[in-house]
Every structure is written in C-alpha cells, then in structure tokens.
Amino acid sequence: MQQKEMEFLTSECKKFYEKHDPLYPKLIEKREFGFGFEKKIDFRHKRFGENRELKEYLATNGPLYVSYSVAYYTAPEARPMVSKNIEGSDLVFDIDVHDCKLHDDKFSCDECLERAKNMVMHLIEEYLMPDFGISKKDIWVNFSGNRGYHVHVEDERYLNMNRDMRAEMIDFLNGVGFDAGEFAQSNATSESPAWYGRIARCITQKLESSAIRTKKANRY
Ligand SMILES: [Zn+2]
C-alpha cells in the first residue's frame, strides 16, 4: 500500500474511533489484543485494563485491523504464550458453507452467505438460547472474512469448559446419542426440553401437514 493511502486510512480510522465506541468484549483486561496496518496482525501481546484504554488506543493510532483473543489470560501481555496463563475461553462456533457450484472454496456468494446466516440463526434460536439458557446479550456474531460466520458465546458459566466438555456439547448439537427407542417410550410433547421437544414438534408438524393434504385430497 502507498504511504499516502495508509495515512488517509489511518486518519479516517482515528476520526471514527474518536466519535464511536468499538464493541467491547467482556473481561477486556484478560484478553490479548493484536493490531494491524499492513497485515491483519502486525503486533500483538497488548493488554488494556479497561474499555476506555482501548478506545483511546484506537483513536490515537487508527489501526485498520483489531483482533482479540477468545482466551482469557492472567497476564495477556506476557510472553512467551505459556506465561500468559490461560484461565478460560469463549465458546466459538465456526459456521462455514462449502461445496458451492458457483465459486471456488475461498470465496462465497450471496446464496452461500444466506445459507450460513440461516444456520447461525438456527444455532442461536433453536439450541444456544433454549437448550443452554444462553442470553442474547452474551452472543456475538462476526463475519469470518470469507465463507461464513463465527458465533461467540461469552456466558461466564461456559468459559471454563475443557476440550472434552466442548466436544460433548458439539455431540449434543449433532444429536449424537439420541435414542429413538427411549424417545418412543417417553411421554415427550412439543413442550419437552431440547431434543425430545424438537422431535415431538417435528412429528406434530409432519402429521398436521399430511392431515391437511389428506383433507384437500378428499375434497376434490
Ligand atoms: Zn456460493
């Protein structure tokens, strides 16, 4: 990039951050920040004690890119990585769309992004909020930059989950271990929680739509 272009862009970013607050992540003092001008991250290992400090930094320097860790550290500014001492991490779901006939795997089209958006809304409204009791204010969605979106969960109750617990959560979302026999023996209704309710609602809908079709068929 030409120096003149860079000067123009950073001065516009500075002006923007003088007037606007960035979206502050929770527990800012425990996250590592990185900033970029030429690249996405030119330097990192930065820590901010509070939201105001980050805003001041952005308004003074006008970086083109800002990143922060999904992990929480005792000492985010420390190096090497192990001395940061990890305390927990946001839950992050990476929703990507693949196998589109309209383009190669690096980019996405409107249709792909639409599909990805629907998957994001489905994950949030059908699973994260009702099944896990996560509140809307603790959920963030970011465009991942090419093929989809990242869904971040900042709910304190889930930050300390280890790798096995996170894998268990993914299994749950995929319906792994669902026992159709047990479901058939249960008294599940549309009001039942999680998968039982989901499947009961699905069956009810199917029955209702086939009942409507049968009625129509009878009429003509
Ligand atoms: Zn596509």
Please tell me the distance between residue 69's alpha carbon and the centre of ligand 1 in angstroms: 29
The tokens for 190 are 């549309």
Domain boundaries, the chain: 1-89, 90-177, 180-219
Please tell me the distance between residue 146's alpha carbon and the centre of ligand 1 in angstroms: 11
The tokens for 183 are 């479901």
Question: What is the rounded CA–CA span in Å between residue 93 and residue 127?
Answer: 12
Q: What confidence score (pLDDT) does residue 111 get? A: 87
| Best CA proximity match to 64, nearest among 17, 9, 145 | 9
pLDDT tens string 79-97: 999 999 999 999 999 998 8
Q: What confidence score (pLDDT) does residue 218 get? A: 67
Question: What is the rounded CA–CA span in Å between residue 131 and residue 133?
Answer: 6
Please tell me the distance between residue 117's alpha carbon and the centre of ligand 1 in angstroms: 13
Please tell me the distance between residue 13's alpha carbon and the centre of ligand 1 in angstroms: 32
Please tell me the distance between residue 99's alpha carbon and the centre of ligand 1 in angstroms: 8
Please tell me the distance between residue 112's alpha carbon and the centre of ligand 1 in angstroms: 4
pTM for the whole thing? 0.81
CA 60 vs CA 17, 37, 48: distances in Å? 9, 14, 14
User: Sheet of 139-143: strands edge to edge?
Assistant: 91-96, 148-153, 139-143
Q: What confidence score (pLDDT) does residue 99 get? A: 76
Please tell me the distance between residue 141's alpha carbon and the centre of ligand 1 in angstroms: 20
Q: Report which secondary-structure segment, H or E, holds 89.
A: strand 86-89
Average pLDDT, the chain: 91
The tokens for 138 are 């603790």
- DSSP label of 24: P
Cα pseudo-dihedral 52, 54, 59, 62, rounded to 10: -170
Please tell me the distance between residue 175's alpha carbon and the centre of ligand 1 in angstroms: 27
Question: What is the rounded CA–CA span in Å between residue 12 and residue 20?
Answer: 12
Please tell me the distance between residue 91's alpha carbon and the centre of ligand 1 in angstroms: 27
pLDDT tens string 137-162: 999 999 887 788 999 999 999 999 99
Q: How many CB atoms lie within 10 A of CB 54?
A: 23
Angle at 77 between CA 157 and CA 68, to 5 degrees: 55
Please tell me the distance between residue 125's alpha carbon and the centre of ligand 1 in angstroms: 24
Question: What is the rounded CA–CA span in Å between residue 200 and residue 183?
Answer: 9
Please tell me the distance between residue 147's alpha carbon and the centre of ligand 1 in angstroms: 9
Stretches in the chain below the pLDDT threshold 70: 105-106, 215-220
Up-side HSE of residue 49: CA atoms within 13 Å toward CB? 0
**What is the residue type of 38?**
E
Please tell me the distance between residue 1's alpha carbon and the centre of ligand 1 in angstroms: 30
Please tell me the distance between residue 148's alpha carbon and the centre of ligand 1 in angstroms: 11
